[in-house]
Amino acid sequence: MNIIALAAKRVRTWFASHRVELGLCLRVAISAVLTLVAAQILHLAIPLWAVLTAVILTQLSVGRSVKASTDYFIATIGAAIFAGLIGTLVPQANEISLLAALAIAVAPAALLAALNPRFSAAPFTVVLVLLAPTITHAAPFASALERVMEVAVGGAIGLLVSILVFPARAQDLAIEAAGQILDLMARLLPAVCAKLMQPVDDAMLQTTQNHISAAFMRLETIALEARHERLTRLTPEPDQGPLLRTIMRLRHDLVMVARAALVPLPDAFQARLGPFLASAADAGADYLRACASALRARRGPPPLDGVSAALDEYDREMAALRQKGATRELPADVVEHIFTLNFALDQLRAHFEDLARCVSEFARPDIPTIANIGAPLQR
């Protein structure tokens, strides 16, 4: 029974962690079936192309489906008109003339697709419009109109299914990606600060940095998809631009701290600053995790008091050391790394405040902030 319960728990966990991908599977299947039914009702000559269009344009998120459908439809209409003109102007009386028409039509379409990825469907459409008449025996412009109809049917059904059937909004995916980056930063910050005082596993630091870079690239892509959702007024959510820029600045701050940690602090500085630096790093990590949780839950930002107090204590101790002239006898490169660390921590404080504003923009009014939870009980 324990084995069965453990297996069931693993299955539930897997389904919960792959909810978005499973939703995509269901949407693609529904799009394919509905498109085939619609193609048969409309008596399309080759239902295959309409079904393929629906499958291609049913994407992981609504925003990605909107962008893919728009690009695909624009490329298809232009390429269909162009191929229809070539098919009409270049008579296809034999195989040689058909080959000539195909070369004349495909080459410009391929060049356009190479110059602008939005028109990647153009060469495919040109081939279909020119060669489909060899199967359906239709005129070139009739073939072009048939192709446009296929894309219209498949694209419309794919987009409607993406919106109506378990929709995965790019907005939600962006929030999850941002939360993942903040969690990774929370893991990295204490480690790079600890390197200023003792040896740290550099491989772990590099791996975490690589994960942050990969997650940030994914966030940039999803934020672009969310912009398409907002342009179509499918969601009233705020723009991810400020959040994206703030996370990028926090990433740069951590890079500066890591560069400062290339040279350990002198022993006297470690003894005086070490506890305050560790406290500030831990407070910053806790704040990043709390912001990640607040973003996912659509709550207001956590309080900054703990981070501000820890950084203030560090600044006071650093000011006391500088007042005593502790930096005057240090080598120039060591002093440079100390001031780089101070500048990075100042930037980190400012960007934590920016992060709080970004989190508040995504908070829902009906969900209390972390600071306000339990306030009625205290009263």
Give the pLDDT of residue 198: 81
Tens of pLDDT, residue by residue over 136-174, are 666 777 778 888 888 889 889 988 888 888 777 777 888
pLDDT the model gives residue 371:
47
The reply to whether 77 and 212 lie within a common domain is no
**Contact yes or no for 188/208 (Cβ under 8 A):** yes
Cα dihedral 102, 108, 110, 116, rounded to 10, equals -160
Same structural domain for residues 157 and 192?
Answer: no
- pLDDT tens-digit profile of 30-64? 999 999 999 899 888 788 888 988 888 888 777 77
End-to-end CA distance of the chain: 48
Q: Quick one: pLDDT at residue 111?
A: 92
What pLDDT sits at residue 368? 55
Q: Are residues 190 and 323 in the same domain?
A: yes
- Domain boundary, last residue among 149, 164, 179: 164
Q: Do 175 and 156 belong to one domain?
A: no
Q: Among 144, 164, 184, where does a domain finish?
A: 164
Query: What's the mean pLDDT in 82-105?
Result: 83
Task: Identify the pLDDT of residue 1.
Answer: 58
Q: In the numeric block, which tokens belong to residue 20?
A: 């978005």
Give the residue numbers spanning the domain of 336: 170-370
CB distance 196 to 341 below 8 Å: yes
Q: What is the domain-level CATH number for residue 191?
A: 1.20.58.220
pLDDT of residue 379: 28
Q: What is the pLDDT of residues 320-376, one digit of tens each?
A: 888 888 778 788 878 888 888 889 999 999 999 999 999 998 887 765 555 444 333
Q: Are residues 155 and 131 in the same domain?
A: yes
On whether the CB atoms of residues 177 and 219 are closer than 8 A, the answer is yes
Rounded to the nearest 10 degrees, the angle between the axes of helix 267-297 and helix 305-323 is 160
User: What is the pLDDT averaged over residues 230-238?
Assistant: 61
* pLDDT single digits (tens) 292-310: 999 988 889 999 999 999 9
pTM of the model: 0.69
* 222 closest CA partner among 188, 189, 180: 180
Grade residue 202 by pLDDT with cuts at 50, 70 and 90. Answer: confident
Residue 236 has pLDDT above 70, yes or no: no
Residue at a domain's end among 164, 199, 231: 164
Q: What is residue 372's predicted lDDT score, i.e. its pLDDT?
A: 46
**pLDDT, position 235:** 52
CA-CA distance, 284 to 168, in Å (whole number)?
A: 32
The tally of domains found in the chain comes to: 2
Q: In this structure, are 120 and 227 located in the same domain?
A: no
Same domain, 152 and 200: no
Which value, in Å, is the radius of gyration of the alpha carbons in the chain? 29
Q: What is the pLDDT of residues 246-291, one digit of tens each?
A: 999 999 999 999 888 888 888 888 888 888 999 999 999 999 999 9
Q: Nearest Cα to 254, choosing from 190, 318, 316? A: 190
Handedness of CA 126, 129, 135, 140 (dihedral sign): negative
Confidence of residue 181 (pLDDT cuts 50, 70, 90): very high
